[in-house]
A and B are shown apart, each in its own frame.
Chain A
Amino acid sequence: MSKTHRPCGVYMAEGGIVAAALAPHPPHLVYAENPEQNEPTSEGGWEQLRWGYERLRNSLKDVEYDVIVILSPHWQTYVGTHFLGVEHFKSLSVDPIFPNLFRFHYDMNVDVELAKAIHDMAKEDGMSVKMMENPDFRVDYGTIVSCHMVRPQWDKPVVAISSNRSRHYYSVEVMQEMMMQLGESTRKAIEASGKRALVIASNSLSHRHFTTETAVPEDMSKEHITSHAMHLWDMRMIEMMRSGKAREVLDMMPEFVEQSIAEADGGALTWMLSALEVPETPAILHGYGTIIGTGNAIMEWKCGEGAGESGD
């Protein structure tokens, strides 16, 4: 059913942001998928989220895009925002927190041209930015997990953007201002490039972990949200996004971050919503679930002709 909404982004036949997604990155999801690239194997688990990712992938099948542009909170930088600036990475990513679950052999291409274009645009807009050009650099697992779950074929080049942790020095409000600017710079650079981009915010919602792990990590009988308050916050944010109330999401962000220890403090969600010009388009909820107690939602914003379709 189509509704009348202001579409996210400025859809251009020549290029622009063609879709966007909130795509959380707990390594448990890759672990549960048992892809050949990951060393550990599992009996499954977290199916509601993994099936959510499946729905997202199906929804994106008819969306033509040239590049994935992603911001991950697990590449944390304090001296500005950084961009991967090496064309190809092939290495092993081991999660330092869950090494028992995630030891992933990745092989990814980077769209350095677009990365540099966003870098330059952000710099022109007054931001502190830097290209990461060290070939020994290991790509963060947040970027890898979200990219794999969205596009397991690994056939699209990636623009990976670091999470500027200014929030820790200043406040969530300052983070918001910076990420709003970065989102705008990102959008302008993508549009100017003529490329069609899928934009991904790689973060969960509420982010209070359990501090114990069951003997079988994928034992779903032990999986649930850490507290009722976290559940309420997650549902509140999801409902606003489902209703096309991105502006309210941004207004609520400081309180949300403080009260739910939200990973959105890394700026990814704000950046993405800004890149989409604070859409009134209802987001499609493809799945919600918890991972070691944290709240995770998989949501999609369609842009251009498909905008406004409600998929949930």
Chain B
Amino acid sequence: MRSWNGNVVKGQVRAVTESGVIKSIVVPAHPHPYLVPEQNEGWGRLRAAFDSAREEIENSDADLLIIYSTLWPSIIGHQIQADPNPEWIFVDHDFHDVGSIPYSFDIDSKFAEAWDEANKKRGLQSRTVAYHGFPIDGGSVVALKLLNPDNRIPAVICSSNIYSNRSETTVLAKACLDALKEQGRKAVAVVVMSLSNRMFTEPIDASDDKIHSLKDDEWNNKILEFLGDGRLEDVAQLSRNIHSQIRVQKVVSFKPMWWLSGMNGQHNNFTGRVLAYEALHGAGGGVVILDPSGDGVGDKEYDEDDVEFYQGDRSVLDSVMAETIAEEEVQIESEESSEDIETSLLMALAKEQQSEHGPELWEPTEGDGQHSTEKAPKPVGPYPHARKVGDLLYLSGVGPRQADSNDIPGGPIKDEEGETLDYDIEAQTKACIENVKTILETSGSSLDNVLDVTSFLIDMDRDFKGYNKVYGEYFAEIGATRTTLAVRALPTPIAVELKVIAKA
């Protein structure tokens, strides 16, 4: 039995418009553009770029600023700042001689809590932190002071786990999207990071600042060329190469692009603008703005499986985490009856996780005369499996997908790249009719009561014979009326679907 994941690309692109991330910004972490922009023309240009980015944020309808900073490392999972008003004075460990930065920020603690909960639902170790005197990292301080100087909109800050890999970082972003969707927020996503991060190890005159090496400069320009073309996902996929070429280990590796791409649905459809690129004591600092766009250079190029839930090596202590995940799953199951749309989406995500593919699934609607069953495949929209009116039972279109796995007997008609696959129409037709039979029987009817069938085939020439053969095996003795139509496509990658009316 083959699986299908051909709708992932469509789903990912769709996420751009629904995620709530309306703009993404890349900024450097050093304090120089804030504290001493006048000491170096390049630092001044970075400051001007920060100011331009700030104006764009102010002119947008963003209601949340989300900061992912490489300067806040974490070990125990992911930490999210939740102190509603953190206040302190920041002094850089290296550049303490350029000054101090007093700060007082407006943190959206409710969103922080929601993100934390979403993290846990997706299997991540996560916690919020809200302690007086907590040392907000320098990168976040500089970003918030320059991009949101009057706390015009609330912010949230997330740590960068030193052990997290791409999948974990991507899940962290997807959990953030869950929280955004739940709260209906419009956010600007900000990553704080250097490009090349090798600095000069000796003090230098500010006027002598330059990128540490030609090699670093070349890589920085390549990264910025990609981002300028809106190719965020491509940069994310190059992260490991970039890290090995122009990043020294320091505390965390080049993870921000994984997170930022995850926040945007992992694609390349952006309008990118590089506002500035300058040296910061040898490191590369860029200010880049990425706006979602439908006319980018292309979609995601897969080099590894996408991931919705984190199931990594968190269970190193004992089985606690495994139990926690199991509890989360039970919790999701128990919430099915709540009719909560978010729960339905979570169920859909859980189902995708089980089968590793598939379109977005919905909980069947419920109402007067409506009937649905867990033994039939989940709908792909807001409808029930069947509806009784008078003495008649009207069934929604029924395909061959399996209730528990979402797999397609006989195989899907195309793969994730949209390439046509060979499939077994007889197996698909048989599975279709079995699903019809299940729905009828759980509604108190039976296949024998079918009055009328409308069949949809995506390839009449290829499939009619096989479909007709299996149909005959079930319906020859029943005598239901039938109409068979050829259609261009069905919502899922199946070749046949039946629409049935039966006696109740």
Contacts and interface: CB of A to CB of B under 8 A. Distances in A.
Interface stretch (B142-150, B197-205, B263-271, B451-459): B197-205
Interface in B413-456: none
Contact of B320 (A130, A162, A169, A214): A214
Contacts of A75: 93
Contacts of B315: 212
Interface residues of A, number: 40
Interface in A127-142: 128, 130, 132-134, 136-138, 140
Of A77, A92, A134, the most chain B CB neighbours within 10 A belong to A134
A130 B95 CA distance: 10
Nearest to A137: B91
A82 B201 CA distance: 12
SS class, residues of chain B in contact with chain A: loop
Contact of A76 (B75, B93, B100, B201): B93
Contacts of B134: 94, 96, 99
B96 A103 contact: no
Interface in A71-95: 75-80, 82, 92-94
Given A94-B133, A168-B248, A128 B202 contact: yes
Given A80-B201, A136-B89, A103 B133 contact: yes
Contacts of A79: 94-95, 199-203, 281
Contact of B137 (A96, A103, A130, A136): A96
Contacts of B316: 210-212, 226, 293
A214 B97 CA distance: 40
A211 B200 contact: no
Given A79-B199, A214-B320, A134 B133 contact: no
Interface residues of B, number: 47
Contacts of B85: none
A78 B198 CA distance: 9
A212 B314 contact: yes
Interface stretch (B124-132, B182-190, B465-473): B124-132
B221 interface: no
B249 interface: yes
A75, A96, A162, A222: which has the most chain B beta carbons within 10 Å?
A: A96
Contacts of A96: 72-74, 134-135, 137, 159
Contacts of A214: 317, 320
A146 to B, nearest CB: 17
Interface string B52-91: 0000000000000000000011111101000000000101
B474 interface: no
A103 B318 contact: no
11 contacts: A75-B93, A76-B251, A79-B201, A96-B73, A96-B159, A97-B73, A128-B202, A169-B198, A209-B163, A212-B77, A293-B316
